[in-house]
Copies of this chain bind each other. A is one copy, B any other.
Amino acid sequence: MIFRQLFDSVSSTYTYVIASRRGGEALIIDPVLEKVDRYIQLVEQLDLKLVKAVDTHLHADHLTGLGALRDRTHCVTVMGERSKVDVVSMRLSEGDKLTIEGVALDVLYTPGHTDDSYSFLMQDRVFTGDTLLIRGTGRTDFQNGDARAQYDSIFNKLLRLPNDTMIFPAHDYKGETVSTIGEDRAFNPRLQVKSVDQYVDLMNKLNLPNPKMMDVAVPANMRVGLAQEDIARRGWAVSAAEALSLAAQPGIVLVDLRERGEREKPRATRKRIVFYCAFGERSAMAVQAAQDAGLASTAHIHGGIDAWKKAGGPLLR
């Protein structure tokens, strides 16, 4: 297995690159925007293909690299279903698997630091985001943080993992790189509480200043799907409302990118192609690729099926 832990010293963020073999597919967890060049270089040097980029939650202390990695590598962007991020290609829920070639991570919903915090379990190690840090826990005083939920996530999910499960968090501020579940259960000062109420009390008294980047990072990180705005500005997008009227026209072919079979349609038609997908992100990439290939009339549905549903569009399935 290829496993790399990378540190951004500005935000003290840990980013992880995972692959099962050289030449294979890679996954990145919690990439930082300013480091995207290095991630892409490393992935190339290790002869990997980046196929998925995941954030454990909406970060308030750094700008996410998800959008930039998607634009530059065409990887799939992934977050938990509870995330308020505008557009990612894939949303995961507790019990789902986050998979690439040769690697499958179990998705755990671990709210508390935020209400969209997820952890990812890969056999002997767990990526805990800001839920469980080494000898610490993520603050719970903004972004719908909830100390009571965090207690539940930590004590009833993470601490039930085997003692020697390695903890790889999204941050460390003191120079630690890894811990284990057994070790932090015993020595994490925040976990030496007798009850959920004692934990809530401890967290509510922390009185921390807001992260320096918060006012910039939170709004920016909610708009991972920025590329769709660019596509719209170029005139290659139709709104969900427009799509409702186009759908019935004979000169139009709608291509559902969520279906492997549908992706062959464009080859066989001279009609105007309108791509769509769940949230409009993959279809924005498809329309860009089609335009690049000279198919000038192609467009996509801005915001995807999600926007279509909100516009009252009928669902055939």
Binding site for B on A (CB under 8 A): 4-9, 35, 38, 45-46, 174-178, 183, 186-187
A177 touches B45 (CB 8 A): no
Task: Kindly state the separation between the CA atoms of A152 and B9 in the bound complex, as whole angstroms.
Answer: 33
A35 touches B175 (CB 8 A): yes
B9 touches A9 (CB 8 A): yes
- Among B7, B38, B174, B186, the residue within 8 A (CB) of A177 is B7
Closest to A10 in B: B175
A7 touches B4 (CB 8 A): no
Cross-chain pairs A/B with CB under 8 angstroms, 19 sampled: A4-B177, A4-B178, A5-B177, A5-B178, A6-B175, A6-B176, A6-B177, A7-B7, A7-B175, A7-B176, A7-B177, A9-B9, A9-B175, A35-B175, A38-B175, A45-B183, A45-B186, A45-B187, A177-B177
A183 touches B38 (CB 8 A): no
Other than the given A6-B175, A9-B9, 18 more pairs (CB < 8 A) read: A4-B177, A5-B177, A5-B178, A6-B176, A6-B177, A7-B7, A7-B175, A7-B176, A7-B177, A8-B175, A9-B175, A35-B175, A38-B174, A38-B175, A45-B186, A45-B187, A46-B183, A177-B177
Task: Kindly state the separation between the CA atoms of A7 and B35 in the bound complex, as whole angstroms.
Answer: 19
Task: Kindly state the separation between the CA atoms of A186 and B46 in the bound complex, as whole angstroms.
Answer: 10
Task: Kindly state the separation between the CA atoms of A178 and B186 in the bound complex, as whole angstroms.
Answer: 28
Ranked nearest first, the 4 interchain pairs of A and B with the lowest CB-CB distance are A7-B175, A5-B177, A45-B187, A6-B175
* Chain B CB within 10 A, most for which of A35, A38, A174, A175: A175
Point out the residues of chain B lying under 8 angstroms from A174, CB to CB.
Answer: 38
Closest to A5 in B: B177
Closest to A8 in B: B175
Point out the residues of chain B lying under 8 angstroms from A175, CB to CB.
Answer: 6-9, 35, 38
How far, in Å, is A23 (CB) from chain B's closest CB?
Answer: 14
Point out the residues of chain B lying under 8 angstroms from A183, CB to CB.
Answer: 45-46
Point out the residues of chain B lying under 8 angstroms from A38, CB to CB.
Answer: 174-175
Closest to A173 in B: B9
Closest to A177 in B: B5
Closest to A184 in B: B45
Task: Kindly state the separation between the CA atoms of A38 and B176 in the bound complex, as whole angstroms.
Answer: 10
Task: Kindly state the separation between the CA atoms of A187 and B6 in the bound complex, as whole angstroms.
Answer: 17
How far, in Å, is A13 (CB) from chain B's closest CB?
Answer: 9
Closest to A182 in B: B22
